[in-house]
A = this chain, B = another copy of it.
Amino acid sequence: MTELALIERITARNPVRPGTLLGIGDDAAVLDVGGRAVVTHDMLVEGVHFRRDTAPLASIGRKALATALSDLAAMGAAPGEAYVQLGVPDDLDEAGCAELAGGLAAVAAEHSVAVLGGDVTRAPSLTLAITVVGHAASPEELVPRSGAHPGDVLAVTGELGGAAAGLLLLQRPELGDGLDAGVAERLRARQLEPEPRLEAGRALASCGATAMIDVSDGLGGDARHLADASGVEIAVELERVPLQQGVAAVAEAAGVDPHELAVGRGEDYELLVTLPQERVDGALHAVRATGCGLTRIGAAREGTDVLLMEPDGSRRKPSGFDQLRG
């Protein structure tokens, strides 16, 4: 497949966006931008972030764009444009390129994102470097990681642990013996095709969220980022952490603590958020209206640590994940 044909596959369903003065095909895209632009990136590399023997190419394309959009969700921004840089190995044929491009194009269409440019080159391993630009409808509503205050409530959208359990099922299918087929499928889907919580992110931003981050490194690691940026202690009550259905069963089959899947490993792409006490009820209502749950799991306090607290009052060490060392 030529570079042009591949780009056309990705951009086939581009929405018409006002302010796009020059799209694909020139040296650069040109946008007429008013207000604030939110810019974020994600790079996925075969053998590091995914394997083609366990992940279908369409899912790889979907996940690459979805995880980049998840960073916009964590700012409370509305998605705008995307730019896709692809490194294509020699053994990826035309049908494979089309499948990958189809996954990217589908997520773009679902979230009204226009793919306005990028680059395609040969590479020894399949590589996707995605840039996403979002826009703030109401600029003062963008939510950084750094705004949590002692006394704020800590909450998380949706359910955790599913991506890690799904990965275990992909690597060791026998762990799913006895698991309901639909439950197992939803765990695998959470790993392969995570959903960016864009609507929930905007709802939380407009409900007064003080700090927000998406759970990509694991609840422990991402709570650490939030605590460090805000200069607070984050205390998580482990028994309150909502686990996706089937996580406990897979954890038991694998011989690990189910909270290890939710806290120590990442990729659920839910939103971890702090809110002033008096804004929590409104946020619960607003997030549920977007079709996902919001659960109180702890609090921000004076201090600098991250505490993972067991029901008996004992504490556990949070584990994180540094992409370079991991």
Number of residues of chain A lying within 8 A (CB) of chain B: 72
Flag if B38 contacts A30 (CB, 8 Å): yes
Give this chain's copy count.
2
Q: Closest chain B residue to A29 by CB distance?
A: B39
Q: Which residues of B contact A323 (CB under 8 A)?
A: 3, 119-122
In-complex Cβ contact of A27 among B32, B36, B74, B325 (8 A): B74
Nearest Cβ in chain B — how far from A93, in angstroms? Answer: 12
Identify the A interface with B (CB < 8 A): 1-3, 6, 21-22, 25-49, 71-72, 74-75, 77, 81, 83, 85-88, 116-125, 127, 129, 131, 133-134, 136, 139, 142, 144-146, 212-214, 229, 322-326
- Given A27-B74, A43-B86, 10 more A-B residue pairs with CB atoms under 8 Å apart are A2-B324, A26-B229, A33-B35, A34-B34, A39-B117, A43-B87, A48-B122, A85-B129, A122-B326, A123-B127
A-B pairs with beta carbons under 8 Å apart, 16 shown: A2-B324, A6-B324, A25-B145, A25-B229, A27-B72, A27-B212, A28-B38, A28-B40, A28-B71, A28-B74, A30-B38, A30-B142, A33-B37, A43-B87, A121-B324, A125-B125
